[in-house]
Amino acid sequence: MILSLLLSFPALLSGCQKNESEANETESGTAAPLPPNEEKPTLDPNQKRVAITFDDGPHNVWTKQIVNELGRYGYTATFFVLGNRIDGTAYKGGDTMSFAASQGHEIAIHGYTHEVYYNKCTNEEYNFELSETDKAIRNWGGGTPTLMRPIGGSITTERVDACPYAVIKWDVDSEDWRYKYKSDDTEEARKEKVDTIVQNVMSNVGDGSIILLHDIYESTYDATRIILERLNAEGYAVVSVSELLGEPVPGKLYYSN
Ligand SMILES: [Zn+2]
């Protein structure tokens, strides 16, 4: 698999311009110009459906709590994981990821280190990020990944075209990473942060949406509980990205945020 991954990526000339401070944040303001090959799903006229995606995990507390909350509604989510947080030096979250997979959730590739952008890094770095995360997902019972979400949503058109996975962005950005709790937050401040995350989602969501959240923050867990309750009340089904898109195709870009 690793060999086939390496062989499937064309040689590109770009050097890596890694930006540590950007890389430590998440999907903010760094997206490349929209590639021309964006795909959209066919909507089901009988059922409003959305996909909820969680990036940057697994997290041994919040991922588990989110999975439990999804289970209350029979909802399925998609987790775009980091290989280094499965069984790497950053974190040991393999058991948590396999728990999510055992509950029927979709496990997909985000990256290994979260320290390079796929529109800037070298081929060696790009191949490492994808193939090592693919391997970690398989080794920990997450199945065979078929989807990839670029770090920060940034990737070149050439890399999308050559990608052995379907490339998945989003259309509803919760911006939850901006509203993490701080240790000195008052109850009121925490509530305001949760309300903002919920509002960012619920005021933009529609049939066929792909929602971006991060399962590594307590504030995201608190907001997710409310978001699930509201989506349920509004009659939405919450399905995996693969189900929403109906067998997404490798080398295609879905949504462009
Ligand atoms: Zn990320």
What are 16-55's pLDDT values in tens digits? 333 333 334 444 444 444 445 577 778 888 899 999 999 9
Rounded distance from Cα 215 to ligand 1 centre (Å):
10
Q: Tokens in use for 45?
A: 């006229």
45 within some domain: no
Per-residue pLDDT tens digits for 196-212: 999 999 999 999 999 99
Per-residue pLDDT tens digits for 154-188: 999 999 999 999 999 999 999 999 999 999 999 99
- Higher-pLDDT residue of 247 and 229 is 229
Question: What is the reported pLDDT for 37?
Answer: 58
Nearest to 89 by CA among 59, 124, 113, 57: 113
Rounded distance from Cα 27 to ligand 1 centre (Å):
6
Count of domains in the chain? Answer: 1
Quote helix, strand, coil % in the chain, to nearest 5. 40, 15, 45
d(CA 180, CA 190): 9
Can you give the CATH number for the domain in which 64 is found?
3.20.20.370
- Of the residues 105, 176, 214, 215, only one is catalytic, namely 214
- 214 part of the active site: yes
Report the SS3 class of residue 87.
helix
Residue 147 near residue 168 (C-beta atoms within 8 A): yes
Per-residue pLDDT tens digits for 62-106: 999 999 999 999 999 999 999 999 999 989 999 999 999 999 999
Mean pLDDT of the chain: 88
Report the SS3 class of residue 212.
strand
- Radius of gyration (C-alpha) of the chain in whole angstroms: 17
194 within some domain: no
d(CA 6, CA 103): 32
Residue 80 near residue 54 (C-beta atoms within 8 A): yes
Look at 14-18, 231-235, 245-249 and tell me which has the smallest mean pLDDT. 14-18
Residue 92: give the domain boundaries: 50-171+208-215+237-254
Question: What is the reported pLDDT for 257?
Answer: 67
- 173 part of the active site: no
Query: What Cα–Cα distance (Å) separates residue 191 from each residue in 219, 226, 243?
Result: 9, 12, 33
68 within some domain: yes
177 within some domain: no
Whether the predicted pLDDT of 4 surpasses 50? no
38 within some domain: no
- What residues flank ion ligand 1 with Cβ within 5 A? 26, 55-56
DSSP states along 5-36: HHHHSPP--PPP---HHHHHS-S-S-PPSPPT
Mean pLDDT of 113-118: 98
* Type and span of the H or E element at 152: none
Mean pLDDT of 122-147: 98
